[in-house]
Chains A and B, each alone.
Chain A
Amino acid sequence: MSLTNETIKARLIEKFGEQVSNFEEPYGMLTFEAPKEMNLKVMQFLFDDTELRFQFLTDLTAVHYPDKAARELAVVYHLHNLVDNVRIRFKVFTDINKPDIFTATQLYSSANWMERETYDFFGVNFVGHPNLKRILNVDEMDYFPLLKQYPLEDQTRIDKDDAMFGR
């Protein structure tokens, strides 16, 4: 029998009780949330459980919600059970002033660069990461560019004279 969203939800609630919350199914993908201290426990359970077997980390990224007090940053994991072919989305929220989240690199080697990318753009501090430094941006950069407070350059600005690119 194939794995359904209801089964996954029931297994998670059975194991973690009220700590897993906000179950949704946008466009069919089961989405839920856990406290940030629990992220590794939840992922380890999803990985090890003989029924769930979410052993493939498809994607890891973050989203910035500046208006949500004390939960400004969401770290989003997309996990895939390749045997039953089910995908789920798992989120943890963190305060932007203390963006410490446990690293998933022990569980997934692929998380290494994905976490570095998330750190690079959002400043999420992955605790226990073997090599947490910037990956796509220059090392000297002193801010995290994908945060919403940094707007893109105003396209109508005229103070910049760049003969090479014809502004």
Chain B
Amino acid sequence: MSETITHHHHIKLPEGSIEKTTTTLNLGPTHPATHGVFQNILELDGERIVSAEQTVGYIHRAFEKLAERRPLYQITTITDRLNYCSSPINNMGWHLTCEKLLGVKTPKRVDYLRIIIMELARISDHLICNSVVGVDSGAYTGFLYVMQYRELIYEIYEEVCGSRLTTNMGRIGGFERNFSNTAFEKIEKFLNEYPAVLKEFENLFNRNRIFMERTIGAGPISAARALNYGFTGPNLRAAGVDYDVRVHTPYSSYDDFEFEIPVGSTGDCYDRFLVRNQEMWQSLSIISQAYKKIQEMKGADAEVYHADAPAYYLPEKKDVYTKMEALIWHFKIIMGETEIPPGEVYQSVEGGNGELGFYLISDGGRTPYRLHFRRPCFIYYQAYSELTKGSMLSDAIIVMSSLNLIAGEMDA
């Protein structure tokens, strides 16, 4: 019998793997702790990380190629799917880019309405990021507790544009319809109730011994390195650089508002967490200022919700059915017969996780000649191996969630 059994090597080990003293660990692409589809190949010595190699691109959808065949309005839906935790910021960033190219001036009320929505989006983005940092350090409560307020934010989106996650909100020049009373009521409800929730959320974490020990000193980065790595947004501010697109290159009338730019000093997970929390307070203040400004508007100003730019603003559907003018513009815009000037534009907005830039080249055709997205987390994720080198495996997880990496944005 025995001669019939031949010995095969069923497991083929890579060369040198027996002599190797370190362990290779594949973290992801579908590991629950990555919160998105991306992979980290960690080289471990015991529980210490010797090196990390990131692999991205698992959900690459060729957005830049697709955009070259799409008229301007069809690109809004692409931007939804970049940072899907704060889609309205992407939508409005794209519309602002178009407006810059086309020379459309928006009325103040439109700017303020946009700011309300963008700041709500920022809160929902930071809320997810910070509560997930909590989850990864063992505190699930915060995540579950704040989720109902993200839900309220999504209800406001729904009231404004009809959808929740991939919002496709607004038009070039403003919004597709005016905000309903229910929308304002919900915004008011949010403004009234959210401060207490955020306070409680902070109480849960900010001075929590376990949380502090897990996050302080985890994944720190100096200001100089952060700048060299192209960090932007809360991650850069946590390292101590007060760069914020809303202040440096104001768009949508952000210069009408009073707010502070919170900064950290060490750039570690704890500072990133605190900076995001502080930004939520600032966002709340911006929303209430904008809301007040809108309430104070009188007469025709108080009703306007889009710019007077018939050549680019897609008219309301009921007008299309009843008015000749609107029908003509609708047809022209949809068929791509409106004149789009040739030009080269770079417009950026302060997205949920950093400077979201749109580099648009138009050759005068109905679609962009080239559109490039500056996606903040694609750029700063490079620093991950430097951030985690020498730290423990458990720190690697928390660094990943505190960087606010969104696979959709990273992979475009």
B-binding residues in A (CB < 8 A): 26-27, 29, 31, 55-59, 61, 63-64, 76, 78, 82, 85, 87, 89, 108-110, 112-114, 117, 121, 134-138, 145-146, 152
Contacts and interface: CB of A to CB of B under 8 A. Distances in A.
Given A108-B228, A109-B383, A135-B56, 10 more contacts: A29-B346, A55-B227, A64-B370, A78-B359, A89-B344, A113-B382, A136-B412, A137-B57, A137-B60, A152-B69
A148 B378 CA distance: 24
A26 B345 contact: yes
Interface stretch (B77-85, B124-132, B188-196, B241-249): B241-249
Nearest to A155: B69
A135 B56 CA distance: 7
Contacts of A108: 228, 230
B336 to A, nearest CB: 15
A73 B181 CA distance: 52
B344 A26 contact: yes
16 contacts: A26-B344, A29-B346, A64-B370, A76-B359, A82-B227, A85-B248, A110-B228, A110-B379, A110-B382, A113-B378, A135-B57, A136-B56, A136-B57, A136-B411, A137-B60, A146-B65
> From DSSP, what is the main secondary structure of chain A's interface residues?
mixed
B43 interface: no
A58 B230 contact: yes
A31 B273 CA distance: 38
Contacts of B249: 85, 87
Contacts of A57: 230
A136 B56 CA distance: 6
Interface string B94-105: 000000110000
Instruction: Categorize the interface residue count of chain B.
Output: 35 or more
Nearest to A110: B230
A154 B198 CA distance: 50
A78 B357 contact: yes
A59 B359 contact: yes
A110 B381 CA distance: 9
Interface in B218-251: 225, 227-230, 241, 243, 248-249
B144 interface: no
Contacts of A76: 359
B357 A58 contact: yes
A136 B58 CA distance: 7
Interface of B: 56-57, 60, 62, 64-66, 68-69, 100-101, 225, 227-230, 241, 243, 248-249, 343-346, 348, 355, 357, 359, 361, 369-370, 372, 374, 378-383, 411-412
B368 to A, nearest CB: 11
What are the 3 A-B residue pairs with the smallest beta carbon separation, nearest first?
A110-B230, A136-B57, A136-B60
Contacts of B372: 59, 61
Contacts of A27: 100-101, 343-346
A113 B343 contact: no
Given A27-B100, A137-B60, A152-B66, A61 B359 contact: yes
A113 B66 CA distance: 21
A137 B65 CA distance: 13
A155 B69 CA distance: 11
B65 A113 contact: no
B64 A121 contact: yes
Contacts of A134: 57
Contacts of A61: 359, 372
Given A59-B374, A113-B379, A137-B57, A145 B62 contact: yes
Contacts of A87: 249, 346
Most buried by A among B60, B379, B380, B382: B379
Contacts of B101: 27
B124 to A, nearest CB: 26
Contacts of B378: 113, 117
Given A109-B382, A152-B69, A82 B243 contact: yes
Nearest to B379: A110
Nearest to B355: A58
Contacts of B100: 27
Nearest to B227: A56
Nearest to B66: A152
B229 A109 contact: yes
A112 B385 CA distance: 13
Contacts of B381: 113
Contacts of B229: 109-110
Nearest to A27: B345
Given A110-B382, A135-B56, A78 B346 contact: yes
A56 B348 CA distance: 15
Contacts of B359: 59, 61, 76, 78
